[in-house]
């Protein structure tokens, strides 16, 4: 794989990940783009002790354009997109409508909150495009392209983790109109966050409590228990196990764990990365085979924070869908949205059995 970095017309970085060994001469971006107008900020919720990002400039971002106006397709003589090249394999670039922005020292005044906690929403948001085929999905990529995406995740995690002020790197994908995607072209996103996310913080606290109480590794013991029971295991390879968690919150939910305890994607070996590409495609194929149609999903990589808890956290993927039947969606109602108490309509063991049977 060949990695080539360049700049877009407004100064944003773009990185090409090309399969093979032919070097790329990056095409220039001839668009006359003005600098991005961004005003992201963070406000601290003292009741839940969580940061909330306010990015009002995103209201005007691109929303479900027609396929002939997709900003993620390759550029052509008659149409210029976010990707200047006429062809590409995998591409990452800075989002034109980011939730987090570079901190240029902007001062935020007190707006009357309990404590003056407002901060610039400092960080970086990238788009990761999985391929040039507008109508494909990740499951359609094939092993070689999936491996290239994994390598891009590794590269961006390593690079973004080294930026000043970044505390956690989050790679994720939203697929499907039901999830709320704004672009149908197959892509994911990567956030370099200036704080440790609430979910990660809670997991670290749970892992620390478990270690103090039992002396064990919480993630390793969860994986061992799932492997031993086998009731909820969907797929297993030499290096990875995919299973429906015993306390699954979503109608279709699969967690993917490496057998070796590693903190993040860059810590995986070459064999583990190749194996990951294969089992991930397998699970995504089962998702789509479940109802005989593309399943809307969120794919969320949990990585250890950059500077803390790396001995407690464990890399893993959470993949889940809001579709609870072929013609029904799960909406977060009063208990879930108001109190955070999930109520599942189907037993996790039954979901695992159906996914095992839904081999693509």
Active site residues: 187
Strands (E), the chain: 2-7, 13-18, 41-45, 50-54, 90-94, 119-120, 124-129, 168-175, 187-193, 233-236, 240-243, 252-258, 297-302, 316-321, 323-325, 328-329
Distance of alpha carbon 291 from the chain centroid:
24
Contact in structure between 211 and 312 (CB atoms under 8 Å): yes
> How far is 132 from 130, CA to CA, in rounded Å?
7
Contact in structure between 189 and 95 (CB atoms under 8 Å): yes
Q: Which is it for strands 119-120 and 90-94: parallel, antiparallel or unpaired?
A: unpaired
Report which DSSP code applies to 343.
Answer: -
């Amino acid at each position: 794989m060949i990695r080539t970095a360049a700049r877009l017309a407004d100064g944003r970085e773009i990185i090409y990940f090309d399969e093979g060994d032919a070097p790329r001469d990056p095409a220039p971006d001839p668009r006359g783009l003005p600098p991005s107008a961004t005003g992201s900020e963070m406000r601290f919720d003292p009741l839940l002790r969580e940061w909330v990002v306010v990015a009002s400039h995103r209201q005007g971002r691109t929303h479900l354009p027609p396929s002939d106006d997709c900003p993620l397709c390759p550029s052509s003589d008659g149409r210029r997109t976010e990707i200047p090249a006429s062809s590409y394999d995998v591409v990452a670039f800075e989002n034109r409508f980011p939730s987090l922005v570079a901190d240029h020292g902007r001062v935020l005044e007190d707006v009357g909150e309990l404590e003056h906690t407002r901060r610039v929403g400092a960080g970086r948001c990238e788009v990761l495009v999985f391929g040039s085929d507008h109508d494909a999905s990740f499951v359609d990529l094939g092993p070689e392209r999936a491996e290239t995406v994994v390598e891009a995740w590794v590269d961006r995690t390593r690079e973004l983790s080294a930026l000043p002020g970044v505390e956690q790197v989050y790679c994720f994908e939203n697929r499907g109109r039901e999830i709320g995607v704004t672009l149908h072209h197959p892509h994911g996103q990567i956030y370099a966050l200036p704080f440790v996310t609430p979910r990660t913080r809670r997991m670290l606290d749970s892992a620390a409590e478990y270690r103090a109480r039992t002396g064990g590794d919480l993630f390793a013991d969860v994986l061992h228990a799932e492997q031993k029971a086998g009731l909820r295991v969907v797929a297993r390879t030499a290096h990875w196990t995919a299973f429906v968690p015993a306390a699954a919150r979503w109608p279709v939910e699969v967690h993917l764990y490496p057998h070796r305890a590693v903190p993040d994607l860059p810590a995986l070996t070459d064999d583990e990365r190749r194996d990951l590409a294969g089992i991930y495609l397998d699970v995504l194929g089962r998702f789509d085979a479940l109802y005989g149609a593309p399943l809307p999903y969120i794919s969320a990589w949990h990585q250890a924070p950059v500077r803390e808890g790396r001995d407690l956290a464990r890399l893993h993927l959470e993949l889940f869908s809001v579709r609870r039947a072929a013609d029904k969606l799960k909406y977060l109602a009063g208990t879930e949205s108001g109190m955070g108490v999930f109520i599942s309509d189907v037993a996790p063991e039954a979901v695992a059995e159906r996914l095992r049977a839904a081999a693509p």
